[in-house]
Each structure stands twice: as C-alpha cells, then as structure tokens.
Amino acid sequence: MNPIFMRMTAEKNPIKITKTLTSKRETVFSGTLQFGRSFSDHMFMVNYQNNNWQAPEIIPYQNLELQPSCLVFHYGQAIFEGMKAYKDSNGDVLLFRPMDNIHRFNISAERLCMPTIDPELFLNGLKELIKLDKDWVPSGDGESLYIRPFMIATDEYLGVKPSEKYSFIIITSPVGAYYKNPVKVKVETHYTRAAEGGTGFAKAAGNYAQSLHPARLAAQQGYDQILWTDAKEHKYIEESGTMNVMFVTKDKKVLTPSVGGTILDGVTRKSVLTLAKQMGYSIIEEKISVNQVIELITSEQLLEVFGTGTAATIAPISSIGYQNKDYALPGSDSDSLSVNVLKELDAIRRGLTDDPFGWTIKL
Ligand code: COI
C-alpha cells in the first residue's frame, strides 16, 4: 500500500500523511514505560512562513533538518505544551481538555512574539496524529500518551529579533509515572523562577532552562524539587518544580497561589480545584507566604501538600525544607483530598464515569 495519502480533516487544512514502514511499537511496549524516553511512530508538523501557516503533514518521527544559525538555537524563541490522551474501557481514545492547552499555547506564542496557530488546525492535527498512533496509547495503571506540541523559531539569522519562520510540531510519548515517590521540596530563597513582567505564565523553553542550575543545587542537598518563591522578597510561594502547588488544611480549605504574571495557569490545577470544590472544600486562591505554611505545619493544621501538573498529575509532597530545617508533612490516606481527587480525575480521563464538565474529547 502506498504509505502516502491525503486526509481532508477540515476543508481548509488537508493533512498529507506519510506512514512509517517500520513501527517501533513492539520494542517500546516490551519494556517498562518511563516518562518521555520513547516516542511514537509519527509526528505532526506545519511550518510558518510569509505570514502564513503552510500545508500540514504527518510524517514518521524523525530528525529535523535545521541550519545551525536558526534563531531558536541562539535566543531561545521556543514554547511548548503538555497534554495527555487515555484509553477508555472500549479501547477508544480520549483527549483531556485539549482546547485549554491550545488556548494557553497561543498565550505563550503571543508573549514570545510567535504566530498564534488556528485552534482548528492544531486540534485536527492532534486528532489525526493520535488516530494514526492509536496503538501507542497505553492503558495500564498510571499510564497515558503524553503529547508534546512545540514551536521553534527557524529563521537563519543571528540578529536579535522575532523570527519570520517557525516550525510547529507535535510528538507523543507513551508514559508511566513522572514521580515514583512523594517529593521532598526546598523553599528557594535565592534563585527565581519568574519575575513580574517576565514569562512565568507562558510555557517558554527558557523558563525551564534557567531552573536547571538551582534544581541541581537543591538535588545536591538531597531535595527532589524546588518550591519557588516570588522574585522580589522570596516570601510568597509560587510553584513547585514544574507543578502548581496546593495546601490542604484540617478545616477543609485548599490554599493555592493565585495564577497571574509569574505562575502558570495549570490545566490540572483548575481541574483539581473544580473537583475539590465539588467535594466540599473551600478554595482559596491568594498570595500564600512561606511563614503562613510553616505556621500551618507547626500548629498541625496542615493535612497535606501536593503538586499538580500534566506530567505528574498529582504529586504528594513529603517535606518542605526552609532555612536549614526540614518540615515533615503528614502522608496521605484514603480520606485525603489528593487520593480522592486523583481517583475522580482518573475516572473522568479514562471515561469510567460521567464527564459533567465536558473535559474529554473522544477521537
Ligand atoms: C507538564 O506537566 O506537562 C510539564 O510541562 C512538565 C514537563 C516540563 C515535564
């Protein structure tokens, strides 16, 4: 069979599809799935030039051919997203809140002076890609297909300016758990993840590059992740590693830093808050100081702390290091919000229960 064919997904965006002749699926699925180590057979790609998105394609996962002078290599004009697909009990594939990620992608694009992408072009490309690589969506406990859309600046030019050419690509990776154990975090009081007016709310590649050095220092001190604080005073909590963070108190409150200029508007964050509210918790989104959290721990008012993110979903935090002291946090049990929210979220994502919020899209 000719591996090349055109599929008219939407009148204006026919996608040219070239199938691989050598699937890697058997090899990948014969081992344990780790996070982000192996990639499905195909990728979606569309280039931007002359002020327009060009013809979209799905091609076998492969190397990119780029000149070393491309702007992305020098000035980091690059953004990305993270989302997931799941299998339901009939073997159908469900995408979780893809429109929220597409919307956030375009917010990131605007901040980085990149072209926004038509949500329909993005969603159709994504759907066709996952349909083609449907067998790559794992169905085991804690497993999913992690989806990584990204955009890079491809102008061959060394002057500092927004590129006029870009590539938008979606790759996917069958994954297991991101964190295997509860996470030990260190309150960061020297380095900063994001400052007001910066790119903290965007999923800009540079945000992650600059976090590596402080994260390495924290790891040398025995911590798994950093609990970022504000750039001005290092007094208020922002995010933990690559996750939003939530504090649950004995009086059924969920405290979480409000999102805005410096904090990413997490899709898992808002899903968890919606479910927690439905479970009877009061949601408090405001500035949360480190001292306030230490006070809650020492007065034994804090029940649990966890991070939320697409990759990690819900990652329990086991201790917080601050000013040379580690504060151990109570572990979770079957009554914990994190456990119950995860159960509910997982049931919705896998189509095992009703989806009252319309979060999933079936392929
Ligand atoms: C995600 O949760 O999708 C993230 O962006 C984290 C990633 C950097 C591993």
Cα–Cα dist 185/244, whole Å:
13
Pocket of ligand 1 (CB under 6 A): 82, 208, 242, 309-311
- Please state, as a whole number, how many other Cβ atoms lie within 10 Å of the Cβ of residue 87: 20
Whether 164 and 15 share a structural domain: yes
Separation of CA 8 and ligand 1 centre (Å): 32
pLDDT at 8: 42
Separation of CA 318 and ligand 1 centre (Å): 20
Please give the model's pTM, rounded to 2 decimal places.
Answer: 0.94
pLDDT at 338: 94
For residue 208, the ligand 1 atom closest to its alpha carbon is 8
For residue 266, the ligand 1 atom closest to its alpha carbon is 2
Whether 115 and 214 share a structural domain: no
pLDDT at 332: 81
Whether 199 and 150 share a structural domain: no
Provide the CATH number for the domain around residue 151.
Answer: 3.30.470.10
Q: How many domains does the chain have?
A: 2
What tens digit of pLDDT does each residue of 82-121 get? 999 999 989 999 999 999 999 999 999 999 999 999 999 9
Q: Is 254 domain-assigned? A: yes
For residue 312, the ligand 1 atom closest to its alpha carbon is 2
Separation of CA 13 and ligand 1 centre (Å): 29
Residue 250: domain span: 183-349
Cα–Cα dist 337/81, whole Å:
27
Cα–Cα dist 254/305, whole Å:
9
CB of 284 within 8 A of CB of 253? yes
What values do phi and psi take at 29, rounded to 5?
-80, -5
pLDDT at 11: 55
Whether 104 and 203 share a structural domain: no
Q: Is 362 domain-assigned? A: no
Cα–Cα dist 36/33, whole Å:
9
Q: Which residues in the chain show pLDDT less than 70?
A: 1-12
pLDDT at 142: 86
Whether 149 and 192 share a structural domain: no
- Closest CA to ligand 1's atom 8: 242
Separation of CA 293 and ligand 1 centre (Å): 25
Q: Name, in order, each residue with C-beta under 8 angstroms of 234's C-beta and a sequence gap of 6 or more.
A: 188, 189, 190, 192
Where does residue 104 rank: exposed (0-12), middle (13-18), buried (19+ CB within 10 A)?
Answer: buried
Whether 79 and 107 share a structural domain: yes
Q: Name, in order, each residue with C-beta under 8 angstroms of 98's C-beta and a sequence gap of 6 or more.
A: 83, 123, 126, 361
CB of 329 within 8 A of CB of 249? no
- Collapsing DSSP to helix, strand or coil, 188 comes out as coil
pLDDT at 6: 47
> Which two tokens mark 97?
């809140």
For residue 242, the ligand 1 atom closest to its alpha carbon is 6
Separation of CA 242 and ligand 1 centre (Å): 6
What values do phi and psi take at 72, rounded to 5?
-60, -35
Residue burial 127-143, b: 16+ Cβ < 10 Å; e: rest: bbbbebbbebbbeeeeb
